[in-house]
Structure 1
């Protein structure tokens, strides 16, 4: 436990309140971790922890700093395969503590949680709001929800648990004081805002498209909107209703040269990534790598609404120009470069200067103030 507590306040995050630390001490994490889990080491390699085969290693992982994957491919692939998409987990303790710290739940609050997962955060929230508060937690996966209910009951916590689409919220528990989201979101469902009182806080892992995920903290306004800024970083598994769609391969391909070293885009700060997300609307994650010949490549993929469009730029040693393969009709690489240039022209604003407003008709991404809208997304 001491090792886990020590991991909650890394230097790159803000100070975690004593109430959050006390909650982590009061809710043993091992009650919420299955006997077999999947962990990634510092190099990204996957390995299993098995309580029966090696209990000491299992406990070290449970009370260590890493997230523990509990499901692959929505349950279609066993963890022992070590391959597949992560679809449910017990998140990294420091990230959980950071999001709860931003949320600021207090005794007596009514809290809506989107994504029960293992149940650990629902237990932490139950401890934080106390006996006069109420926690409603929604999980889309029936099997995950069933196990979470068992975990919570065994640990002595009894939040209200529902199975369903968390994007819809829960109307018969409103008005909420806090909304805690445990899955990656691109577009904030207005239902969460609508079901909150004015002054309520919504904290979520926001995946705007290009680059890494961030933490968004919104406050509900008297006019029925919610607005707030990026307050940190977090990469979570997608909410199932908002997962990027699959792409078909386009038939058209063209090649051309770019003067910008594609490696430079991999070294950009998060402020640039947020600008590119806002200005281009790219939805899919950027991928990159180095092949056996030492060539670096970087791929950018268009949203599902532009089927098959993507671009791959390749750096080769000794070259001053770099090849771009553009597939499909949308000039994805050019859009990224133009957005990057605009970010530079703004004075290279950092990530803390970006925010979002959520209204009944959609959400707006802005820089510095809600009036300076970079992109409007219709509901």
Structure 2
């Protein structure tokens, strides 16, 4: 079996505008030219949005393996930093072959071109590095940094098998690679909450940085930044991009407080599901105004089905809240722990977002400077502060 024309056509079809924006012809051509199957292990784990995860095995069931490789599927290649075998089916996904539509979408925002010098943060399987190498051509250069030596070693073998020359380094991608600067583009393939200023320093003025940005509250976003002459990088949220978090920025595991902490119980009128249903605009506002993180889970217990939203202070794991929705309830149970009233802050931030006219996610942007990053609404001058205000009240309310 092989990458037949039909399979390639199916992969290209997965990049259509309905899925990933208006993908340019150079990126489509690169996807055709760089065989994805050379970057997929013989055994991979497929994790869909719905349904149980399942294995694909090239030797046991080659048809399914080939069809999956040339589809829109995400294929997990590592669990628990390599400590758990894929055949166990359970564990934290720590490396993968990303969905082709998401890869193409980020490359489309990056706009790499012939002769560009590219810094890639997160080599993974090496497929994106190969696509970048194809796009920059013989006169360009791709430097890719991978934190996991095992992942980096396999990527080097994959790239060699594909006949691709790229500079591969093992290290902390948050530091970039200063001896290759200035870069024309910085391409990031892991989720980032706090954007390292090193990437801005190492990119030329006018250069572009594209990354999956996960501010912590709600969903993840694709962010496109342009480096300015003054040493800052400024840009907007341009879409959705869900990636595994950079290892140095992973949130601490666990949802339960330390033993002995007092839990305060009360009821909330706001359905916690509503915040998910309202879209990313409210997520961005709550994240900017509070700095909190969240996640939502579904399940059932002796009292029936539920949806739970967990909210926590990333700098103080002793402060968190969980809000539980159950069918038929007029209000919803809240357990709050710690000195910081995190759910009350969420409610205040939600009310402020409503007072601004419920701005869409496309109106948000971010500025990265030597002293840190700031989230803004509409223009870089209208910064949202952690105190729950906007520096330009007229615009934020309009």
Does TM, scored on the shorter chain, surpass 0.5?
yes
DSSP-derived class of the 1:307 partner? strand
What is the aligned partner in structure 1 of residue 296 from structure 2? Answer: 287
**Equivalences for 1:1-379 in 2 at 5 Å?**
1-246=8-253, 249-250=257-258, 251-283=261-293, 285-292=294-301, 293-375=303-385
Deviation at 1:192, TM superposition (A): 0.4
Contact kept in structure 1, 2:192 and 2:246, CA below 8 Å? yes
Q: Distance in 1 between matches of 2:192 and 2:385?
A: 16
Distance 1:12 1:334, change over 3 A: farther
Tell whether the 8 Å contact from 1:139 to 1:165 is kept in structure 2 after alignment. yes
Answer whether contact 2:233 2:369 (CA < 8 A) is retained: yes
Using the TM superposition, name which of 311-320 and 78-87 deviates more.
311-320
Deviation for aligned residue 1:40: 1.8
State the 1:263 CA deviation.
2.4
CA contact (8 A) 1:207 1:213 kept: yes
Distance (Å, rounded) in 2 between the aligned partners of 1:85 and 1:181: 20
Q: Which runs of 5+ in 1 are unaligned?
A: none
Which deviates more from structure 2 when the two are superposed, residues 239-248 or residues 48-57? 239-248
Inter-partner Cα distance in structure 2 for 1:376 and 1:169? 28
Which digits, 9 at most, give the CA deviation of each residue in 1:150-188, with x for residues without a partner? Answer: 000110001000000000000110000000000000011
Question: Displacement of 1:18 after TM fit?
Answer: 0.1
Secondary structure of 1:265's partner? Answer: helix
**Is the 2:289–2:386 Cα contact (8 Å) retained in structure 1?**
no
Q: Aligned partners of 2:13, 2:355: CA distance in 1, in Å? A: 41
For residue 371 of structure 1, give the secondary structure of its aligned residue in structure 2: coil
Aligned counterparts of 1:253 and 1:159: Cα–Cα separation in 2: 53
Task: Report the CA distance shift for 1:211/1:134 in structure 2 as closer, same or farther (over 3 A).
Answer: same
SS of corresponding position for 1:145: helix
254-263 vs 143-152, which moves further: 254-263
Q: Any gaps of 5 or more consecutive residues in structure 2?
A: 1-7, 388-398
Separation (CA, whole Å) in 1 of partners of 2:184 and 2:263: 51
Change (3 A) 1:212 1:334: same
TM-superposed CA distance for 1:42, in Å, is: 4.7
Distance in 1 between residues matched to 2:55 and 2:270, nearest whole Å: 41
Over the residues paired in the alignment, what is the CA RMSD in angstroms? 1.5
Q: Are the counterparts in 2 of residues 13 and 232 from structure 1 also a CA contact under 8 Å?
A: no
Question: What TM-score does the superposition give when structure 1 sets the normalisation length?
Answer: 0.96
> 2-side partners of 1:149 and 1:48: how far apart?
24
State the alpha-carbon separation in 2 of the partners of residues 360 and 118 from structure 1.
Answer: 32
Name the CA distance, whole Å, in 1 between partners of 2:327 and 2:203. 55
* 8 Å CA contact 1:23, 1:127 repeated in 2: yes
Provide the secondary structure at the position in 1 that maps to 2:314.
Answer: coil
SS in 2 for 1:53: coil
Q: Is the 8 A contact 1:275 1:340 kept in 2?
A: yes
